[in-house]
Structure 1
Amino acid sequence: MMQADVKLDTIGYFCPMPIIMTSKKIKELLPGQVLEVLSDDEGIKKDMPAWCQTTGHEMLGLEEEQNQSKRIYKAFVKKTK
């Protein structure tokens, strides 16, 4: 299980909102800090790695959990600059 410095809850939001919210939130972090993004949008599995590649931040991993009737995705992004 990965550890994050800051969590961002985007549950209930769908593409492109989780990425837009991540982009705003990561600006508040210091380089080296890790952001955990919670989402119930399966699109995050493709969108977050693509966003990290575009912006230069490091995608550390993605975890999936079944939460009641929903699948929850946890994306871990390390701010690089």
Structure 2
Amino acid sequence: MSKLDLTTNTILLDTKGLYCPEPVMMLHNAVRDVDDKMQIKVVATDPSTQRDIPKFCQFLGHSLKSQSHVADEFIYLIEVNK
């Protein structure tokens, strides 16, 4: 599920409870739907996203602005580069 925060021009992509490969597949779909330089904030609970999301960004040329782990959630802020 995703929603747009108009104040920050950021899409929130909630992938909590989903496991590989679903979080990355949802991120890939979200990237297609946003404009260049928009941001996507991904919230996940799958530990494999710690490996998968940075590699996704590196491979496709998107900027991983931040990555954090709080309690059982992994949080990523990605700037889309088209």
**Alpha-carbon distance between aligned partners in 2 of 1:4 and 1:40, rounded to the nearest angstrom:** 24
Once the two structures are superposed, residues 15-65 of structure 1 have per-residue CA deviations (whole angstroms, 9 ceiling, x without a partner) of 111000000011111111110011000111111010111111111111211
Offset at residue 77 of structure 1 (A): 0.8
Query: Pairwise CA RMSD of aligned residues?
Result: 1.2
Following TM superposition, by how much is the alpha carbon of 1:4 offset from its aligned partner in structure 2, in angstroms? 6.2
Alignment gaps of 5+ in structure 1: none
1:80 aligned partner: 81
User: 2:19, 2:64 → 1: CA distance?
Assistant: 20
Distance 1:43 1:4, change over 3 A: farther
Aligned residues: 75
Runs of 4 or more above 2 Å deviation: none
Cα distance between partner residues in 1 of 2:56 and 2:12: 18
Of the candidates 22, 38, 49, which is equivalent to residue 44 of structure 1? 49
Q: Sequence identity of aligned pairs in percent?
A: 23
Residue 27 (structure 2) pairs with residue 32 (structure 1) = no
| Preserved contact between residue 4 and residue 36 of structure 1 (Cα < 8 Å) | no
Q: Point out where structure 2 has 5 or more consecutive residues left out of the alignment.
A: 1-7
Give the TM-score taking structure 1 as reference length: 0.86
Aligned mate of 1:13, from 18, 33, 41: 18
Q: Report the TM-score when normalising by structure 2.
A: 0.85
